[in-house]
């Protein structure tokens, strides 16, 4: 597993990494070494604190294993055995996957994002799709459940949302849903599925991008990456491409990339609010500009971008509300995204 990454997982992010990975690891690039240490530490922490799977979320497990695989970090074989059992427990009998082993009843609900991470992890661990071939009924139910979450009419026709969360119509959810659907459905040559995916792509380009409302760096990344993965990017108008580029560049400030325009927060609050620069926004911005235009970046560029976010626990944004620290110092996802972006840097 540590030697090869299934192509489909590499494609979650626009990663042209395989050759870069080998070469960069061999040259002992400082930041990759640092990241490798971080992932080794993460493994240590997770194995100690969470007795592995019981406290972990499927998203974290995917991010940890994906990052470790990219960096050739050794994964304990006992952990791999535990994973098979864990995955069978979080696969819902009604389709989809729970984010983790539920502690309470209200947590016993499949989510689009957790199903996406479940499938991506499955693909990492089981590239020959043994689980899916053994669990055809689960695959079918998962596809049907995901399709039931697509808006069938109205302004957001084609978008996906969680049934109990009306505000969850986002490019991220739509990306995760159609990635999962296409992954599950690709062996079935499903014509209807293609129609559904087309509708989702239309929502992304004709509604989310076209309306120019609710834009943020992350959302734009997922919107553009969705079109990129499904071959729709060339159909985007030049004007739209320029608007997206302009928006993303306008988020680049002296202290780093912001996720939102400052006017969004200021319009809502009376008090002066600290406006963060975010590591993930900077990384997404570079990946997005690379997909959409001829933007290129080197590992040196990235080193400058990410250095201010380096802590003793890894890379991370300090989110603040007023003077309060809000949230963890560093997340596995930030470390993984940093790794992915580094590996995508131009030679």
* Residues engaged in binding another protein (CB under 8 A): 57, 59-60, 63, 99-100, 106-107, 109, 111, 113, 117, 162, 164-168, 170, 172-173, 218, 259-260, 264-265, 268-269, 276, 278-280, 316-317, 319-328, 331-334, 336-337
Rounded to a whole number of angstroms, the CA Rg of the chain reads: 20
- Name the 3-class secondary structure at 91: strand
Nearer to another protein, 190 or 261 (CB): 261
C-alpha 206: how far from its chain's center? 23
Q: How many residues does the chain have?
A: 347
Q: Nearer to another protein by C-beta: 193 or 259?
A: 259
- Token pair, residue 238, equals 């030049």
Nearer to another protein, 126 or 334 (CB): 334
Give yes or no for a contact between 159 and 174, defined as CB atoms under 8 angstroms apart: yes
Task: Give 198 or 247: the residue with its C-beta nearer to another protein.
Answer: 247
Half-sphere exposure of 217 (CA within 13 A, CB side): 25
Helix segments in the chain, DSSP class H: 7-10, 18-27, 30-49, 58-70, 77-90, 112-125, 130-134, 136-148, 171-185, 191-202, 210-211, 217-229, 238-250, 262-266, 279-292, 299-307, 332-344
Closest distance of CB 106 from another protein, Å: 6
Distance CA 233, CA 145 (A): 28
To another protein, the closest distance from the beta carbon of 272 in angstroms equals 10
Q: Taking the complex as a whole, how short is the minimal distance between the CB of residue 292 and another protein, in angstroms? A: 19
Cβ 173 to another protein shortest distance, Å: 7
CB-nearer residue toward another protein: 39 or 260: 260
Q: How far apart are CA 100 and CA 334, in angstroms?
A: 20
**185 vs 256, which CB is nearer to another protein?**
256
Measured from the CB atom, the residue of 3 and 271 that comes closer to another protein is: 271
**Minimum distance of another protein from residue 170's CB (angstroms):** 6
Q: How far is the CB of 340 from another protein (least distance, A)?
A: 11
Q: Which residue has the tokens 């809000």?
A: 326
Whose tokens are 């590992």? That residue is 299
CB of 258 to another protein, least distance (A): 10
Question: Taking the complex as a whole, how short is the minimal distance between the CB of residue 314 and another protein, in angstroms?
Answer: 11
Please report how many Cα atoms fall inside a 13 Å half-sphere around the Cα of residue 231, on the Cβ side.
3
Residue 25 CB-density burial (10 A; 0-12 exposed, 13-18 middle, 19+ buried):
middle
Cβ closest to another protein, residue 104 vs residue 246: 104
> How many whole angstroms separate alpha carbon 240 and alpha carbon 245?
8
Nearest to another protein of 59, 139 (CB atom): 59
- CA–CA distance, 245 with 286 (Å, rounded to integer): 10
Min dist. Cβ of residue 141 to another protein (A): 21
Render the burial of 35-45: b for 16+ CB within 10 Å, e for the rest. bbebbeebbee
């Amino acid at each position: 597993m540590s030697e090869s990454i299934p192509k489909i997982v590499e494609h979650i992010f626009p990663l042209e990494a395989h050759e870069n990975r080998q070469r960069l690891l061999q040259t002992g690039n400082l930041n990759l070494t640092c990241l490798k240490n971080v992932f080794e530490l993460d493994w240590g922490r997770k194995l100690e604190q969470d007795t592995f799977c019981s406290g972990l979320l499927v998203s974290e497990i995917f991010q940890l294993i994906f990052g470790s695989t990219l960096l050739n970090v050794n994964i304990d074989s006992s952990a791999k055995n535990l994973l098979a059992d864990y995955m069978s427990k979080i696969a819902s009998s009604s389709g989809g996957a729970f984010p983790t082993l539920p502690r309470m009843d209200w947590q016993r609900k499949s989510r689009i994002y957790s199903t996406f991470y479940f499938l991506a992890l499955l693909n990492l661990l089981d590239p020959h799709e043994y689980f899916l071939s053994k669990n055809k009924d689960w695959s079918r139910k998962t596809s049907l459940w995901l399709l039931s979450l697509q808006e069938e009419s109205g302004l957001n026709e084609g978008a996906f949302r969680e049934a109990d969360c009306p505000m969850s119509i986002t490019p991220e959810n739509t990306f995760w849903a159609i990635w999962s659907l296409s992954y599950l459905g690709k062996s079935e040559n499903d014509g209807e599925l293609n129609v559904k995916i087309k509708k989702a792509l239309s929502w992304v380009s004709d509604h989310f991008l076209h309306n120019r409302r609710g834009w943020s760096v992350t959302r734009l990344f997922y919107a553009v990456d969705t079109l990129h993965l499904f071959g729709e990017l060339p159909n985007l108008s030049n004007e739209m491409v320029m608007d997206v580029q302009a928006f993303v560049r306008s988020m680049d400030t002296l202290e780093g990339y912001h996720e939102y325009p400052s006017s969004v927060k200021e319009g809502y609050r009376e008090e002066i609010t600290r406006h963060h620069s975010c590591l993930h926004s900077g990384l997404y911005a570079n990946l997005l500009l690379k997909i959409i235009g001829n933007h290129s970046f080197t590992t040196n560029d990235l080193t400058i971008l990410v250095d201010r976010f380096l802590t003793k626990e890894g890379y991370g944004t300090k989110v603040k509300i007023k003077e309060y620290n809000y949230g963890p110092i560093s997340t596995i996802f930030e470390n993984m995204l940093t790794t992915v972006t580094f590996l995508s840097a131009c030679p």
